[in-house]
Amino acid sequence: MSLEHWLKVWASLPVLLQGLSVNLALLGGLLSLGFFLGLVFAVLEVYGPKPLRLCAALYSWVFRSIPEILLLLLMWFGPAQFGVRIAPFTAAVLALGLRSSAYQAQIFRGALQAVPAGQMLAARALGLSKFQAVRHVLLPQALRLSLAGWGNEFAVVLKDTTLAYAVGVVEVMRQARYLGSREMPLTLPAYITVALLFLVLTYAGLFALGALEKRLRIPGLEARR
């Protein structure tokens, strides 16, 4: 690991950053998918009728049980059996997004259940329907409560995007390997550079979420000292 090798990795930084942009696109896709589905399943699991509640619990169980790498490979190979060719990127977003939705559903479920039961009663007493009560009274409070847990999920799935190389997505990890396979002494400097990039990204993301949490805090409410 001489200086020369570090300089070469530095010169290849644009390539690594281009790979990182693929990770960010994956992250955007999987978090959006996970957020939307996670919310739906959380609401179903807490307020839905019994059969739907069971379905939601089953969903969470399945997608939290299967190892991610296996989920990725299944999503990539599976549809081809039925003549459907899914692009590597789409397969990765689907596999990682469905998995994240199961975890996010649990985060939102916990937050929904942390909102005092009196809120629902009060909302219903004011004439809101059950759906309206969830939509306008409970969810806004629950989302605020779920930010800390959600930040954790963000930090986890950000790193999970590097697994997508297993199904042929050319993301930052794959780009680092390209550098190493072209010129082997670059392998370690390239890996360390990628690690540093993720340190920065995770910090930036968690910082932004922390700021959001602070901004959404309601003075006097939920004060814990």
Partner 1 sequence: MRTLGVAVAVALLGLAGLAAEKFIVGSDIAWPPFEWVSAKGNYLGFDLDVMRMIAVLEGYEIEIQDIAFDSIIPAVIAGKIDIGASGFTITAERAQVVDFSSPYWVSDQTVLVRADSGLNIITALLPGRKVGAQRGTTGAFWVEDNLIAQGVAVQLILYETYPEAIMDLLAGRIDAVIQDQAPSEQAVRQYPGKLLIAGIIKTYEEFGFLVAKGDPKGILPRIERGMKKLRETGAWDNLVAAYFGNPLDVIEAAWEACIPILTVERDPIRYAACLAAKVQELSQK
* Residues at the contact surface with partner 1, assessed by CB under 8 A: 11-12, 15, 18, 73, 76-77, 80-81, 83, 85, 88, 165-168, 170, 174, 177-178, 180-185, 187-188
Q: How far is the CB of 185 from partner 1 (least distance, A)?
A: 7
The Cα–Cα gap between 194 and 124 comes to 52
Residues 6 or more apart whose CB falls under 8 angstroms from that of 94 comprise 33, 75, 86
Q: How far is the CB of 79 from partner 1 (least distance, A)?
A: 9
Q: How far is the CB of 182 from partner 1 (least distance, A)?
A: 5
Residue placing its CB nearer to partner 1 in the complex, 80 or 156? 80
The Cα–Cα gap between 36 and 102 comes to 11
Q: How far is the CB of 62 from partner 1 (least distance, A)?
A: 22
Q: How far is the CB of 159 from partner 1 (least distance, A)?
A: 18
- The b-or-e profile of 170-197 (16+ CB within 10 A means b, else e) is bbbbbbbbbbbeeeeebbebbbebbeeb
52, 57, 63, 65 alpha-carbon torsion, rounded to 10°: -150
Residue placing its CB nearer to partner 1 in the complex, 184 or 196? 184
Alpha helices for the chain (secondary structure H)? 3-11, 13-47, 50-65, 68-77, 88-114, 117-125, 130-133, 139-160, 172-182, 187-216
Q: How far is the CB of 157 from partner 1 (least distance, A)?
A: 21
Residue placing its CB nearer to partner 1 in the complex, 130 or 182? 182
Residue placing its CB nearer to partner 1 in the complex, 108 or 165? 165
Residue placing its CB nearer to partner 1 in the complex, 95 or 167? 167
Residue placing its CB nearer to partner 1 in the complex, 48 or 185? 185
Residue 153: how many CB atoms within 10 A of its CB? 19
